Structure 1
């Protein structure tokens, strides 16, 4: 258990390379609240996307810092209850969920069930419910103590991958976009999406990546073809296609829209190329379809309405099992978790992930 004074990792909202630890006061609980010590969490390019789209998608609002211009990036991981003033949530229980980059968090459990609870804090009421749910590990069907790190790294990303694939299929691939162009193809959300798409007949899934990650992407076997960004022109300009944009690069977006006259849809997902973000400009006057930001909670809501919550959960769980079996069973494995302890280590890993550096097979787990 963490015995040092609590602290939160802050980043400048308009200059993500500027980051620091901020000591936080130990706030006394009021009735209905619980204190959770954060044991571990994953740090991936997905978290960089949360920061890059923090204002547009309200990610900064989950864990407000109280400091003008500074935000706390949300992460997925595990925490243990160290103090409870809430009936039905006991000290010592472990929960999987959405946490701040820091050492602890105070939550206000609502709708407490054997499965877990939702954070009922006032500032989170208008935020997407999918991010407010905390799963009790003792009853969570996804939980396996032996694979905690893989769950932190891949579970939230794969849910997004599952939903992107489902959204595109639900829209009949926008009238014939049978070639899917996935940027940042080495990222976990991208190759999770490729894994799902590759199971559908008649689709060509093309991974776009930096030259240094080409061999890795080819080794996964879920891409029909892997191209370096500089090889984009090797695809025929009249290819009916859909662009699934994980990179968020304005120059790449411009090239794709300018080259492919039969671009059927631009599904904007993330911002792994922070220095080239299309969100900061570069989306105006594009030929072809307007880029549309994908919002996973909207597709969850639709499918729960279509299928029912139980059927949705079964489909997702089966897809997750198939995916993690492939990820961990491949030789070499697609992903090897690497643990880093301490605040200095977290700061170093954050800068590495922000810069898009490192081995794509490595998954970073932080122990604050």
Structure 2
């Protein structure tokens, strides 16, 4: 039996558990038990932009109005009708919030394969790849929780940093990078990368309650509460990297900073304000532009080659995780939520933005609560 968590597309607070029978495998398919997956604000962003950016299309429910949010995690192959994939293989990749998944492996290599399901063919290739942990260069045994929580977010962080460097910070170098929702994992991953660049002051914007946490990370040059924008000079050359999706904050930044060079929208941790976080044609300064990680991946793999791209990413990932897991001052601890009821409760908490920023949520519908 496969348990799935469905979410109402027009009301992300509404969820529903569905017990589905095991789909009969066709030749060339595999079934994998989804052992665990991370749930972060990034996944809520997938849901919030589900229609506009086709996130609902990866794992369609077949029922109008209901969707399955994609998540990142680990799964073990339990049945295989594909000669190139063995039962017992551990996979990392993009899964539904469910206890199992059926995949159609294509383009196999020792390190990875692509899901060849017809409905995913036109979707961004980066989300259709499954990494075979035995030879995955980013995999380290015993750290699956950290990988599930941070790997997809950090890759986005690394690409954001690279995008701004690639564009000369749009003329704000030297200058300031303003990061909203500074306590979020994608924000502090980006700050970790930006802090290694000369000429860029990294300023985290957060709630007053999370200010001390952000300061403790050591990757921000300055941390300001949202109401403290006036502590930065209005003529400061700056770029804005918006992880919050808070339309009121975006307007305040565009209005205050006359020398704002670029405004990038990354996601929406403030889900209830996403309606106000659109491109903002009426805002002063540059138009807010949605950052799309797959586009930067495609650009850099073309310019650098896939091997060089991968090596650079591995080096950055290893440096970041060493810092995050430093036993003297770890940035993150994993909290496990096993079973249907626990998964529903954890989803509600993450969607509402509640919780300790040091906590990362690892969920499982294949393990009982």
Report if TM-score (shorter chain) is over 0.5: yes
1:116-155 matches, cutoff 5 A: 116-155=112-151
Contact 2:248 2:276 (8 Å CA) reproduced: no
Question: Which of the residues 216, 224, 229 maps onto 2:226?
Answer: 229
Q: What is the Cα deviation at residue 38 of structure 1?
A: 0.3
Q: Does 1:94 align with 2:90?
A: yes
Segments ≥4 residues shifted beyond 2 Å: 278-282
Contact 2:243 2:268 (8 Å CA) reproduced: yes
Distance 2:277 2:199 in 1: 35
- Residues 329-338 or 297-306, more deviating: 329-338
Aligned residues: 364
Distance 1:231 1:122 in 2: 50
1:49-68 matches, cutoff 5 A: 49-68=45-64
Distance 2:265 2:47 in 1: 15
Distance 1:234 1:280 in 2: 24
Question: Which of the residues 271, 275, 296 maps onto 1:274?
Answer: 271
The unaligned stretches of length 5 or more in structure 1 are none
2:353 corresponds in structure 1 to 356
Q: Does 1:343 align with 2:340?
A: yes
Contact 2:250 2:277 (8 Å CA) reproduced: no
Question: Which of the residues 315, 320, 323 maps onto 2:320?
Answer: 323
1:163-182 matches, cutoff 5 A: 163-176=159-172, 178-182=175-179
Distance 2:256 2:194 in 1: 23
Distance 1:256 1:16 in 2: 28
Q: Deviations over 1:19-48 (max 9, x none)?
A: 111122321011111111100000111111
Question: Which of the residues 13, 16, 34 maps onto 2:12?
Answer: 16
Instruction: With the length of structure 2 as denominator, give the TM-score of the two structures.
Output: 0.97
1:104 corresponds in structure 2 to 100
1:37-56 matches, cutoff 5 A: 37-56=33-52
2:188 corresponds in structure 1 to 191
Question: Which of the residues 209, 212, 215 maps onto 1:218?
Answer: 215
Distance 1:221 1:281 in 2: 31
The unaligned stretches of length 5 or more in structure 2 are none
For the residue of structure 1 that corresponds to 2:108, the secondary structure is: strand
Contact 2:2 2:22 (8 Å CA) reproduced: yes
1:73-92 matches, cutoff 5 A: 73-92=69-88
Q: What is the Cα deviation at residue 354 of structure 1?
A: 0.6
Distance 1:233 1:126 in 2: 46
CA RMSD after TM alignment: 1.1
Distance 2:362 2:250 in 1: 31
Q: What is the Cα deviation at residue 332 of structure 1?
A: 2.7
Contact 2:246 2:277 (8 Å CA) reproduced: no
2:257 corresponds in structure 1 to 260
Residues 52 and 247 (structure 1), Cα distance of their counterparts in 2 relative to 1, 3 Å cut:
same
2:153 corresponds in structure 1 to 157
For the residue of structure 2 that corresponds to 1:22, the secondary structure is: strand
Contact 2:159 2:293 (8 Å CA) reproduced: yes
Residues 313 and 66 (structure 1), Cα distance of their counterparts in 2 relative to 1, 3 Å cut:
same
For the residue of structure 2 that corresponds to 1:146, the secondary structure is: coil
Q: Deviations over 1:121-157 (max 9, x none)?
A: 0000001111000001111121112101000000000
Q: What is the Cα deviation at residue 281 of structure 1?
A: 4.9
Q: What is the Cα deviation at residue 278 of structure 1?
A: 4.8
